[in-house]
Structure formats: structure tokens, C-alpha cells
């Protein structure tokens, strides 16, 4: 009996060790399908509570950029443009992407929007929500959060939404760690380049975001994806590789044409 329970614990711990797409080891114990379920629930309630943009040009622009990016990752992704002037975009486990009209108005071109959406997809591909849930909650709490996410008025529900990265909309700020931010930047940069977007535009985008936040505009995005001094250095370090990826993509005929 003792042997059996020891075995169960060991198997549990072994399965809790995972590796992120950049090769970093992660502690993860939540079943991915449960975390995906949380993402779906959170997205559903956002769609029912927040106005969805009917601007055909904005919708087409966001869909076009997201589709070119997600062709590189596979899977079906749902993209919704929210009528919201704050500068924000997010992606949730379960392949959901939300883009605010405020961000669409801010960006100068398709490449800048691809930089933000690519970064968001980077968080999902790296299973950061699962890692945050696994790090910051006990096993029992983590599993009860799957239900709690449908109740944003409760403390547990708010924590769940915060760990999914969309808590700001419900007044809960749980910013991504610097490690997660850097990882999402790196993955997003490669992803946009592989889709044929210009990775150098990511630098311009982050500078624009920084400027907008200094202008006193409340930037929902910057509160959950904190700016750090080394973000641009990190992107520049990976830029030669990313430009090569983009050239390869272009030679394969991947040439995005998304306009707003
Ligand atoms: Zn981020």
C-alpha cells in the first residue's frame, strides 16, 4: 500500500516536469485540457460581457494577421476584435485571441500587430497559464479554479482570471514574470518571422507602447506584460536569426498582405 502511494507521488512529480519551447524546464501539474477549458470559459464570458467590434476593416485586418501567424503553429484559433479603446490584445489557452480596437488604431502596419499577437501566442505555446497555476496554487485549489473561472465576482475566480493573464479586465493584476515575458518575446519574434512578417517592426511596436504609457494613457497591456529594460536588447540579440527566418519564409512565398 505504502509502495503504491509512493509510486503515485513519484509519477505525479515526474509528470510535473515539462520543457518549454525555448528549452526551459517548467513545473506543470494541471492537465492541459482543464487549462484549455478555463481559457474557453474566460473567453466566452468576455464575449458575452464586452462589445464586439463590427468594423469590417478592423476584423479583417486582425483575422488576416492572426491567420498568417497561426498557420505556423497549427490548430484552429478563434479571433475576436473587441470594441475597446485600451491598447490591449491577449491569447488564452484553448486557442483564443482577443484584440482591442485601440491597439489596431495604434499600430502602423501588419508587422506591428503581428508582433503583439505573436507575443501573446508565445505565452500560450509556452503553457505559461498552466505554469502560473501550477506554481501559485495547491493541486486542490488549481483544480477548483477550473469552475471558479466562470465566477469573476469571487476571489478564486479573480485569481484564476489573473493567472490566465486577463485579470486586468476584472480589476486583478497578476503581471507575467520577466522570464515569461522574455520567452514570449523570443517565440513571438520567430513566429512572426516564419510567417513572413518583418521582425524588426517588433522594436518599433514596443517603443510605441512605451511612449503611449508615458503619455499617461492607461495601458492594460503594460500592466500584465510589464516593460523591462532588457526587452529590446533581447529582441535585438535574436534579430539576425529572425531576419534569416523571414527571408526563408519570403523565398517560400509567404508574403503577408494584411491592411486595416
Ligand atoms: Zn507578455
Taking Cα atoms as reference points, which of 251, 255, 252 lies closest to residue 198?
255
Q: Model confidence at 233, in pLDDT bands (50, 70, 90)? A: very high
Confidence (pLDDT) at 6: 53
pLDDT tens profile 23-66: 999 999 889 999 999 999 999 999 999 999 999 999 999 999 99
Q: How far apart are CA 232 and CA 223, in angstroms?
A: 18
> Which of 72-81, 89-98, 186-195, 209-218 has the weakest average pLDDT?
209-218
Residue 139 C-alpha to ligand 1 middle, in angstroms? 25
CA of 52 to the centre of ligand 1 (A): 23
pLDDT band, very low/low/confident/very high, at 2 (cuts 50, 70, 90): very low
Residue 13, pLDDT > 90, answer no
Is residue 107 pLDDT above 50, yes or no?
A: yes
For residue 49, the tally of other CB atoms under 10 A from its CB is 10
> How many CB atoms neighbour CB 247 within 10 A?
12
Is residue 123 within 8 Å of 184, Cβ to Cβ?
A: yes
Q: What percent of the chain clears pLDDT 70, i.e. is strictly above it?
A: 93
| Angle, alpha carbons 164-114-106 (nearest 5°) | 90
Q: State the pTM of this model.
A: 0.91
Q: Give me ligand 1 centre to Cα 162, in Å.
A: 13
pLDDT tops 70 at residue 146: yes
> Does residue 251 contact residue 193 with C-beta atoms inside 8 Å?
no
Distance from Cα 124 to the centre of ligand 1, integer Å: 10
What's residue 8's pLDDT?
Answer: 53
Q: Is 120 a catalytic residue?
A: yes
86 neighbors 220 (Cβ within 8 angstroms): yes
How far is ligand 1, taken at its centre, from the CA of residue 115, in Å? 11
Active-site hit among 120, 131, 181, 220: 120
Amino acid at each position: 500500500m505504502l509502495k503504491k502511494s509512493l509510486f503515485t507521488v513519484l509519477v505525479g512529480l515526474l509528470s510535473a516536469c515539462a520543457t518549454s519551447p525555448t528549452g526551459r524546464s517548467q513545473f506543470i501539474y494541471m492537465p492541459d485540457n482543464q487549462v484549455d477549458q478555463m481559457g474557453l470559459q474566460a473567453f466566452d464570458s468576455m464575449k458575452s460581457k464586452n462589445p464586439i467590434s463590427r468594423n469590417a476593416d478592423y476584423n479583417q485586418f486582425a483575422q488576416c494577421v492572426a491567420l498568417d501567424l497561426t498557420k505556423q503553429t497549427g490548430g484552429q484559433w478563434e479571433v475576436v476584435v473587441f470594441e475597446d479603446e485600451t491598447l490591449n490584445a491577449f491569447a488564452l489557452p484553448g486557442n483564443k485571441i482577443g484584440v482591442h480596437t485601440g491597439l489596431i488604431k495604434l499600430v502602423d502596419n501588419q508587422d506591428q500587430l503581428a508582433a503583439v499577437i505573436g507575443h501573446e501566442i508565445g505565452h500560450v505555446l509556452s503553457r505559461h497559464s498552466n505554469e502560473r497555476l501550477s506554481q501559485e496554487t495547491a493541486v486542490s485549489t488549481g483544480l477548483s479554479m477550473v469552475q471558479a473561472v466562470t465566477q469573476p465576482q469571487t476571489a478564486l475566480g479573480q485569481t484564476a482570471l489573473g493567472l490566465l493573464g486577463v485579470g486586468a479586465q476584472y480589476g486583478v493584476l497578476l503581471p507575467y514574470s520577466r522570464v515569461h515575458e522574455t520567452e514570449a518575446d523570443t517565440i513571438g519574434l520567430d513566429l512572426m518571422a516564419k510567417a513572413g512578417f518583418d521582425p524588426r517592426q517588433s522594436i518599433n511596436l514596443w517603443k510605441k507602447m512605451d511612449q503611449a504609457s508615458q503619455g499617461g494613457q492607461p495601458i492594460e497591456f503594460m500592466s500584465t506584460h510589464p516593460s523591462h529594460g532588457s526587452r529590446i536588447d533581447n529582441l535585438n540579440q535574436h534579430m539576425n536569426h529572425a531576419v534569416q527566418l523571414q527571408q526563408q519564409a519570403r523565398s517560400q512565398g509567404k508574403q503577408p498582405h494584411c491592411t486595416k
